[in-house]
Structure 1
């Protein structure tokens, strides 16, 4: 396995207007890792994801994807380079069917990968297949979240970015989303999850990075985080 990170984030400073939100943020995700970016509400998780995706351009620092600098590019160029982003509000196409949403998201990966045809999507997301002709706006929140993840995978991303995938969902649906993400990890997918729900990530992530007040304060394996009660209590306890 290559030792080059799929994505490397270095010294990102991000502002909203005159307010600085991120302060020198840095992290890296290796091939096959599921990295959890953890922190309380308002810690800077979503801004970090948007900065990686080019939706919140950094004033300083850089983002590289497989060694190629992508910071400063338009978000659609970053998507074509291999980043797939599932935002917190999902942004499905509500007036189109489930299958239309999937087809809209279909594209080959940056090196011509075509690992996520519709058939495989339905194999991995069996709850979506009987809903394939349903208008997406009539789906439940959990079904919409699954559709948003599935649609992003249809673009064959090198790295899947998930912003708060458990937010606002019933516990049984959160469990199903977790099972899906464990399955993706088992298939070798590389994933970065921004989450406030630490317990959701403990059973599915391989590594964890903790952000607080716009700064990275801890980064280690998920097993190390489980053993580090002081970090959990200081930065993640509600």
Structure 2
């Protein structure tokens, strides 16, 4: 495990208008880690992801990506620095084909790396290749989620943010998404997943951070979370 984090979040305060949403949030994700950011609906997970991506600017605190301060940068500059963000609503281009969506997302990484060419995307996402000419808006929810993840990987990110990837999907599709993310983890990808579905993350993440009412309340290895009934019941039970 790398001694230095790929992303480090320190003391973030984020407001929507006059309402404070995040209170001193701090976390870090290290190279090759899959970190689960867990919490109930409204706990602050999505706001944390948006703050890292520059979509919800922090009033206080800082975010560094591979040691570079990215707080205050525009979202597209943070993306160029190596951040890939899959939002909760996926935001595919519904009038374009699957392959057009992928090509639109294509760029080299911050050091010119091209680890995710189109051929590799189809190898890792075999369900997408036979759909490559289909209009993306006609895909199922699970197919759209796979496309959104694949399109983000086409940008060769050093850190992949996934906001509620299991949300609204049938259990069999959630299982497939989980298998895909385990495969990505095995390639050495660094991933931060915001999820309400704790069980989706238990067999997937290496570490877990729990957020409640805009504050980090627990952080540990995933096995420690599994063993901590008190934390799971207090902050994650529905």
1:23 aligns to what? 23
In the alignment, what sits opposite 2:176?
Answer: 176
Superposition CA RMSD, Å: 0.5
Alignment of 1:36-51 (within 5 A): 36-51=36-51
**Post-superposition, which runs of at least 4 consecutive aligned residues in structure 1 deviate over 4 A?**
none
What residue in structure 2 maps to residue 157 of structure 1?
157
In structure 1, list runs of 5 or more residues that go unmatched: none
* Cα displacement (A) at 1:22: 0.1
Aligned to 1:54: 54
Matches within 5 A, 1:101-112: 101-112=101-112
Instruction: Specify the alignment match of 1:222 in structure 2.
Output: 222
Partner SS for 2:5? coil
Aligned pair count reads 238
Give the TM-score, by structure 1 length.
0.99
Alpha-carbon distance in structure 1 between the residues aligned to 2:212 and 2:200: 19
Q: Distance in 2 between matches of 1:2 and 1:50?
A: 25
Could you say which residue in structure 2 is the equivalent of 1:94? 94
Aligned position for 2:82: 82
Instruction: Tell me the distance in 2 between the aligned counterparts of 1:164 and 1:43.
Output: 13
Match of 2:72 in 1: 72
Name the CA distance, whole Å, in 1 between partners of 2:196 and 2:52: 18
Counterpart CA distance in 1 for 2:30 and 2:213 is 25
Q: Which residue of 1 aligns with 2:63?
A: 63
Normalised by the length of structure 2, the TM-score is 0.99
> Can you give the 5+ residue segments of structure 2 that lack an aligned partner in the other structure?
none
